[in-house]
Chain A
Amino acid sequence: MEKQLYELTLKEAIDVAKAEGPWEIIRAVIDRTALLNPRLNAFVRFEPEHFLKKSRKSEDFKGVLSGAPLSVKDNICIHGCETTCASKILRGHVPPYDATVIRKLGDAGAFFLGQCNMDEFAFGSSCETSAYGAVKNPWDIERVPGGSSGGSAVAVAADMTIAALGSDTGGSIRQPAALCGVVGLKPTYGRVSRYGLIAFGSSFDQIGPITKTVEDSAILMNLISGFDPHDSTSVNQTVPDYTKALARNVKGLRIGLPKEYFVEGIDPEVETKVREAANVLKQLGAQIKTISLPHTAYAVAVYYIVAVAEASSNLGRFDGVQYGLRAPGKNLLEMYFETRNQGFGEEAKRRILLGNFVLSAGYYEAYYRKGQKVRTLIRKDFEEAFKEVDLILTPTSPTPAFKINEKISDPLAMYLSDIFTIPANLVGIPAMSLPCGFTEKGLPIGVQLMAKPFDEEGIFRAAFALEQEIRIYKRKPKL
C-alpha cells in the first residue's frame, strides 16, 4: 500500500515538496489533524491560515525545507500568533517577535501549522496540567502521552505534522517521545538558541526536534543549531552537518550502561527492550560496558530545587501588568494576587512556592546553594564516565505510558517519571530518546542515548544504526 502524504518523514516530505510543491502535503496534514485533534488534543492552536496569510508566495517555501509543514510547542514565540504555554495566565499574549528557531526555520522554508499542547509552562510529565485539557496518547487514548512536550510528540506520532519542535528542561522532549514512539533530541545546552522560548529553568531549557526518524532529527538540528547573538548562553561553535553522521557504523563505539539506571522500580518490559537495544548495538560492533554514575540518586532532588528556583523567578513577570490575564483588584496587590491565583494552575503554583522557598533568606544556603554543589558532583560523574565511554545508554522513562489521572494527584510519583532524563539537563549534555520496542499491550518503549557536550554526532551515529537495524519506526498507532 502506498504511503499517505501525511505519513511522510521530513526527508520524504522535502523530496516530494521539492518536486511537486508542498501544498498536497500541507492539505493532507491539515485534513488529518482536523480529523484527529478533537480526539487527541495535540494542538492548542491549529491555524495554518495564519501562516498561509504570512507566506503566500511560493518563494517563501524554497530553502531546505521547501514548505514542509512543522508544528511547535506552545512556549516558542511566533510573531503575531498567540503563545500561551498552555496557561490561562497567558491567554491573549501575542509575541511581538519571532523566536530565533522560528526565524531560522522560516528562512529555511518551513510552513508552520500551529502550536502544540503541553503541560502548563512545561511543568509536568503527562500533559495533564494544560489549561486546554489533557493530551491523549495515540497508542492508547486512556493513557498520557508524557510531557511536557506531549502535544508535539502526539502530533508527530499520529501524523498530524511532519515534524515538531519541543523544549526539554528535565526530559520534556525525550519522555513524551519515548511514550509516543517517536524520536526526541535534547541538544547540548547552548547548541540551540533559547531566544523566544518562554523560560522555565533557564540553565536547563533547550529547544529540540521531535521527529519520526533519526534522519529527520538531524535535518532539523542542522537548521536550528548555532550561536545566536541574542542568547548569551548559546555557544559559538561550528555546527557540523549532522546528516553526515548517519552512517550505519558503530564499530568501536564505546557505550556505557550505568548500573544506577537499571534498578528496582523500572518496568521489566522496559528493561528488557532497552537491554536488547544495547545488544543490537553490540552485534553491530559497539563495545558495551557497565559504568557507574554514583550521584544519580540525587538528580531528581537537585532538579526540583534548582529548576523551580529559576522557574519561580522566570514566572514573576506574569503579574497582570503588561500582557495576558489581568484579574480586577481593588489595588495593585489584590490585582497581583487575583491574577496569579486565577491564572496559574496547581502545579505551577506548587513550583512557584517551592522555588521561592528555596531562594528565600535563611534557606538559600541549605537548598539552592547545596543543590548547585550536588549538580557539580553529578557533572563530575559524567565527566568521569565519558573518559571510559563515548555514549551512555539508558531507558528514557522507567515505565511506558501510564493512565490519565494515575499520577496527577501524587506529584512525587510524577516527578520520578523523569528520573532518567533529568541528569542530562543538570549536566547540559545532549540526549536522545528513540523507539526500541513495544510492550505486550502495544505501548512504545524508548531508549536514551547521552553523549559528551556537543557530540550530537555520536548520538546520531548510534541512533541511526539502531533504528535502521530494528526498523520499528514503521509501526503506526491505529487511529
Chain B
Amino acid sequence: MNTKIQYEPVIGLEVHVQLSTKSKLFCACSTQFGEAPNQNTCPVCMGWPGSLPVLNEEALKLAVRVGLALHCQVSEKIKFDRKNYFYPDLPKAYQISQYDMPVNKLGWVEIEIQNGKEIQKKKIGITRAHLEEDAGKLLHEGVKDGSLVDYNRAGTPLLEIVSEPEIYSPKEAYEYLKTLKMILEYLEVSDCNMEEGSLRCDANISVRPVGEMKLGTKTEIKNMNSFRAVERALNYEIGRQMEMAAQGEKILQETRLWDETSGQTFSMRSKEEAHDYRYFPEPDLVPFRIAREMMDSIQKALPELPAARAKRFQDDYQLSAYDASVLTQEKALANYFEACVKEGSDPKTACNWILSEVLALLNAKCISVKDSPVQPKDLLGMLRLIEDKTISGKIAKEILPLMFETMKSAADIVQSRGLTQVNDAQLLEDLADKIVQANPVLVEDYRAGKKKALAFFVGQIMKETKGKANPQLVNEILVKKLGG
C-alpha cells in the first residue's frame, strides 16, 4: 500500500514597525521621511566616537501602548542590549535592541478567517514586542564604484513584533498582518507604510508531517514588500519545502530572499554563515523601572480597538458582522460612518452608501477617507434629499460623483441641474396613460403573465422624465393602470 505523508506548514512572523515619534530613539534628530541624505543626523545617530544614547521616552510610551493593546505582559524593568555586527549602514557596529528582557511579551492577536460563509476566529500568540533602533540605508544608484550611506533612518525607533509559530497557512499569515496593521493604525503609533519601510515583515517557516508536534527545520524569508508578497512567498516556500520533504531531502536552516519578479525564494546565507550577534547589556543605558502612573495613564488612553468597535457596531447599529468588520478595518472609515450616524443618518443606509458608493469613488481616485472631499455631513445632506423624496436613489448615485468633483452640496447640484424628483401623481398618470395606449401588445403580454414587461413601461416614464420620476410612485401607477 502506498500511503503518502501529509505535511503542514508552521509559520511565525516578525514584523518591524517604525514608531511615529518626532525624534529618533536615542537622539533629538528628526524622523521625517524623504529628507536629503544625512540631513537628519547628529554625532549620536552617526555613532561618532564618544557620543552616547539617551532614550526617547515617547518611543517607550508607544511601545507600551502597543504591548497593552496586544494583551502583552509589559515589563516594568526596561533594559537594552547591544546586538553586534558589521555593516556600513550600522554606524556603531552594534544595534541597540532588547534581548532577554523585551518591553512586551506573551500577548495575542485575534484574527478572523473566512471559511466559506463562516467566519472563524483564532488567537495568534505574540512572543514578544521589543524596542530597537533602525539602521541607515545603502544607496547604490548613480554610484560607479562602491556605495553611499544615508544615515537619516539610523536610530529611528522600531518595535519588533514576533509572533508564536502558530500560523498554519499563508492566508492566516495575511489575515494576521492585516489585523496587526489595523490595530497599529488604530493606536496611531505608526504610519504602517510598507513602501516607505515603516512596516516590514520577515517570515519563519517550516513544514512537518500532520500530527507531528516537533517543528521542522525552518527557513527565514526576507524582502517581502507587501502583505500579498508575504502570502505569495509563503505559498512558494511551502511548496518548495513540502516537495523536498516528500522526496526525503534535508531542508537547510537558512535565510532566503523573496524575488517578487520571479515569484521564488533564493538562498541568502546558511546557518553556518549566520551572525553571532554577541548580545550583552548596553552599558550606556542604565536599566530602570517604568513608573506605575505612566503605565496606568497609557492604559487609560488606549483607544477602542477594531474588534471591539465592530462588535459595538453590530450591537448599537444592528449592522451585519460583515459590514461591521469592513467598516472598522480602517479607523478613519469607522469614524466617517459614526459621524454620519451621529448627524442623524439611519445606520444601515449610511453603511450601504459608504461601503458601496463612497469607497468606490475614493478608491478610484486614490483618496484616503480622511481627505474625502465628501465629508459625513455632505453625505448626510444627500441622504436627506432621498429621504424627503427630493431625489431618487438612482439620481443620488449620479449626484455623488459630482459632489466628489465639485465639492458642492447635493442640494446645490440638484438645484443647478434641475434634478428634483417628479412626485406629481397627475403628471405621471398622464404619462402612463400615453405609454400604455401606445403599446397594446406589451400590455397584453403583461396581462398574460409576463410581469417583466413592467420594466419597459417604467423605463419609458423614466426616459420621459429624464430619470427624475419617483420610481416607487411610477410603479404604483403603472401596476394600477395595467391591472392584472
A residues with CB within 8 A of B: 75-77, 83, 85, 90, 93, 95-97, 99, 194-199, 201-203, 229-233, 309-310, 312-313, 316-319, 321-323, 332, 336, 356, 359-361, 364, 368
Contacts and interface: CB of A to CB of B under 8 A. Distances in A.
A75 B49 CA distance: 9
Contacts of B48: 77, 95-97, 322-323
A256 B221 CA distance: 62
Interface residues of B, number: 28
A359 B283 CA distance: 14
Contact of A316 (B51, B55, B93, B285): B93
A99 B48 CA distance: 12
Interface in B252-286: 276, 278-280, 283-286
A336 B86 contact: yes
A63 to B, nearest CB: 24
Contacts of A319: 86, 88, 93
A202 B283 contact: yes
A195 B84 contact: no
Contacts of A199: 49-50, 284
Given A233-B286, A310-B283, A332-B88, A321 B50 contact: no
A195 B51 contact: yes
B49 A203 contact: no
Nearest to A197: B50
Interface string B140-151: 000000000100
Contacts of B51: 97, 195-196
A321 B154 CA distance: 15
A232 B54 contact: yes
Given A316-B92, A359-B278, A368-B280, A232 B55 contact: yes
A199 B82 CA distance: 15
Interface in B50-88: 50-55, 82, 84, 86, 88
A359 B281 CA distance: 11
A322 B84 contact: no
Contacts of B284: 199, 202, 232-233
Contact of B280 (A75, A83, A313): A313
Contacts of B82: 313
B47 A364 contact: no
A198 B92 CA distance: 12
Contacts of A230: 52, 54
Given A195-B51, A202-B284, A233-B286, 4 more contacts: A83-B49, A199-B284, A202-B283, A332-B88
A152 to B, nearest CB: 17
A232 B84 contact: no
Contact of A229 (B54, B86, B92, B149): B54
A365 to B, nearest CB: 12
Nearest to B89: A321
B41 to A, nearest CB: 10
Nearest to A361: B276
Mostly helix, strand, loop or mixed at chain A's interface?
loop
Nearest to B278: A359
Interface in B37-51: 43, 46-51
B88 A198 contact: no
Given A232-B285, A233-B284, A316-B84, A99 B50 contact: yes
A96 B86 contact: no
Contacts of A316: 84, 86, 92-94
Nearest to B83: A313
A360 B276 contact: yes
Given A199-B50, A229-B54, A321-B88, A313 B278 contact: yes
B50 A95 contact: yes
A313 B52 contact: no
A332 B283 CA distance: 29
A323 B91 CA distance: 11
Nearest to A340: B86
28 contacts: A77-B48, A77-B49, A83-B49, A83-B50, A96-B48, A99-B50, A195-B52, A197-B50, A198-B49, A198-B50, A229-B54, A232-B53, A232-B284, A233-B285, A310-B280, A312-B84, A313-B82, A313-B84, A313-B278, A316-B86, A316-B94, A319-B86, A321-B88, A356-B278, A359-B84, A359-B280, A364-B278, A368-B280
A321 B278 contact: no
A232 B55 CA distance: 8
Contacts of B92: 316-317
B49 A95 contact: yes
Given A97-B48, A360-B276, A360-B278, A203 B88 contact: no
A97 B86 CA distance: 25
A317 B48 CA distance: 8
- Shortest 7 CB-CB contacts between residues of A and residues of B: A316-B93, A359-B278, A202-B283, A203-B283, A198-B49, A196-B50, A77-B50
B47 A195 contact: no
Contacts of B94: 313, 316
A167 B42 CA distance: 24
A154 to B, nearest CB: 23
B273 to A, nearest CB: 12
Contacts of A77: 48-50
Contacts of B47: 317, 322
Nearest to B43: A97
B121 to A, nearest CB: 40
B55 to A, nearest CB: 7
Contacts of A310: 280, 283
A170 to B, nearest CB: 15
Interface string B439-482: 00000000000000000000000000000000000000000000
Nearest to A369: B280
A201 B91 CA distance: 19
Nearest to B274: A361
Contacts of A90: 49
A197 B51 CA distance: 8
A374 B393 CA distance: 80
A374 to B, nearest CB: 16
